[in-house]
Each structure stands twice: as structure tokens, then as C-alpha cells.
Amino acid sequence: MALLKFNKRAKTENETGLSSSSVMNGGRFFNKNGTSNIQVEGMSFFERLNIYHALLSMKRRKFILLILIFFILVNLFFASLYLIIGIDHLQGLSGTSATDKFGEAFFFSAQTFTTVGYGRINPVGFWASLTAAFEALIGLMSFALATGLLYGRFSKPKAYIHYSKNAIFAPFKEGTALMFRMVPYTKNHLVNVEVKVTLVLRIMEDGIMKNKFFNVPLDISKSITMTANWTLVHVINEDSPFYNLSKEDMSNAQAEVLIFVQGFDESFSNTVISRTSYSHDDFIYGAKFKPMFHPDANNTTTILHLDRLNDYEPAEINIQF
């Protein structure tokens, strides 16, 4: 059991900000994409809603679909208002049927909302003119907000880092090490990159199941720059929290490795943060990563293959898991 082989020499991490009571949380702490594995309840959706943050962070297709739906609904609403006021208050309509008239009222609304104003159709009378003026005001404000959101999404600082699917126990020098690797996948250049790794074990202590957090020191944890793939290495020795833990021990203790990466992005002129985690199911025992890069034919530049990030091959290690 992990409890019996728990390494007392391993340095604990007491400032994680995560719960130490194992019975108070379920599953892993972080998903593979770095988001927290937490479902919030006890407060209504609208009380918790941060519209600005939600629009900045939602998926691109969902954001575009939301903008499109908003545009259609607003114009349907104002087209209905023009019909209620009276279709005869829109001068220049050429449609004869009710469907044609509603369609022309809808497209007149779209032209007013976007302040295009082709001029074939124009409002006549106080109420129709007032409605058109109010719609134009809403359109100007909506496009200002949409422009700000698009810029915010476009310029939002992001690390643009991919992590290997698995963390592997691989041969390292004359021993064994836990390894995972990451790679930037755009032309953004990160400098002063720092990586911090924490191991979480669920351990019975004083009759209570607790989450214990251990610092996982890396062979190299800081880099001046990161332009290609970087393999992070934790040497398993007597000071390692993995020392003497078997595969069964890590499964019973629901081992999870938390990865936190921080660096300065020259393009954004801002600090960017990335995170992920590896659960015990993501560990590969006895393997080594295959190379991701090689020189070109002229030996003048380096070719980096992003599609080889997860490639590994079997390898002999001197620790029995």
C-alpha cells in the first residue's frame, strides 16, 4: 500500500490552495486541458454569470453562433415592431404578400441596425422614425461591444503550449526519471519560462484519508527561452516522492501530477500561464520519448515535428513498478 511505502523524506507542498481532505473532493484536481475539475452549485446561474468573462472565454464557434443569433433576434424584434406600428409607415416597400412585407421589414431593420441605410425604404411618421432611431443607437452600441470583445479575444494572452499525452518513467543517466514534454505550437516566443510540478497522493493519516501534496523537483525547472520542445525530468531517488512507490501503490493513492508553467510572451508583452495534470492512468512505465526534431538536408536549420509530441518507445528501467 502507498501508506506503508510513503516516503517520509519527500518534501511536502503546503501552499497549493487545494483541499487537503480527500473525502471532500472527487476525481482529479485538474483536467487535461488545465481547467479545474469543479462543478459549482448553491447559487443561481445568473448570480454567478460574468458576461464579459464568459464571452471572452467561450469557444470560437459558440461565440460566432451567439453573435449571429443575437443579430437575427434583434432584427426579428424590430421587424415585428414596424409591422405593429403599420407597414404603411415604411415607404418604398415593393412586396405584396404578408411574407414579402415582413421580409422587407426585416432587411430594413438589418440595414438600420448596421447603419448601412441603402435608402430604398425609409420610415414615415413619428413612431416609425423613433423606432428606427432607437434601433440605430442599439446597433452602434452593439457593434462597439462586439468590436471590443473580438479584440479582447484576439489579443488575449495565451501560452500556446501542447503537452505530451502521457508522463513516462524512463531511463535517465544511470537511474530512472519521470518525464513529460511540452512544445510551443505557434511562433510566439516565451522567455524566462518556469515549471513547477506537484504530486498529489490520497493517503490514510491518523485514521483520516487526506490529500498530501509533494514538491516534485525537476532536473531543470527554468529556461531562458523555449522555442522548441522541452522534456521535463524528475529524477527518482531517495528524496523523490515516487521513491519505492509501485504501480499499484500509485493507483491506490490515485496519484496525480499537477503541472504549472509560467513564462513571459514577447508578442503579448505579458506573463502567460499554462497548466495540465497527469493522473496515474496517464503514466507509462518503461519507455522513452522519440526525438521530435532533426536538422534539415542542408544542416542549416532545425525541423520540429509537432505531430511527434506523444511518440515513445519501450525502454528498460532499473526500478520495478
Q: How many CA atoms lie within 13 A of 209 on its CB side?
A: 11
- pLDDT tens readout for residues 158-181: 889 999 999 999 999 889 999 999
- What pLDDT is stored for residue 241 in this prediction? 92
Q: Region 97-113: what's the mean pLDDT?
A: 88
- pLDDT tens readout for residues 70-97: 999 999 999 999 989 988 888 877 767 8
Rg over alpha carbons for the chain, rounded to the nearest Å, is 29
Helix, strand, coil percentages (3-state) for the chain, rounded to 5, are 30, 30, 40
- What pLDDT is stored for residue 22 in this prediction? 65
- pLDDT tens readout for residues 246-285: 899 899 889 999 999 999 998 888 999 999 999 999 999 9
* Residue 1 predicted with pLDDT over 60: no
**Rounded mean pLDDT of the chain?**
88
More confident residue, 50 or 222: 222
In CATH terms, are 22-39+158-314 and 47-154 the same topology? no
**Residue 23 binned pLDDT confidence (cut-offs 50, 70, 90):** low
Q: Tell me if the domain spanning 22-39+158-314 has CATH number 3.40.50.150.
A: no
Residue 301 gets which letter from DSSP? S
Domain made up of 47-154: CATH architecture: Orthogonal Bundle (1.10)
* Residue 3 predicted with pLDDT over 50: no
**Domain boundaries, given as residue ranges, for the chain:** 22-39+158-314, 47-154
The secondary structure of 247-274 as a DSSP string is HHHHHHTT-EEEEEEEEEETTTTEEEEE
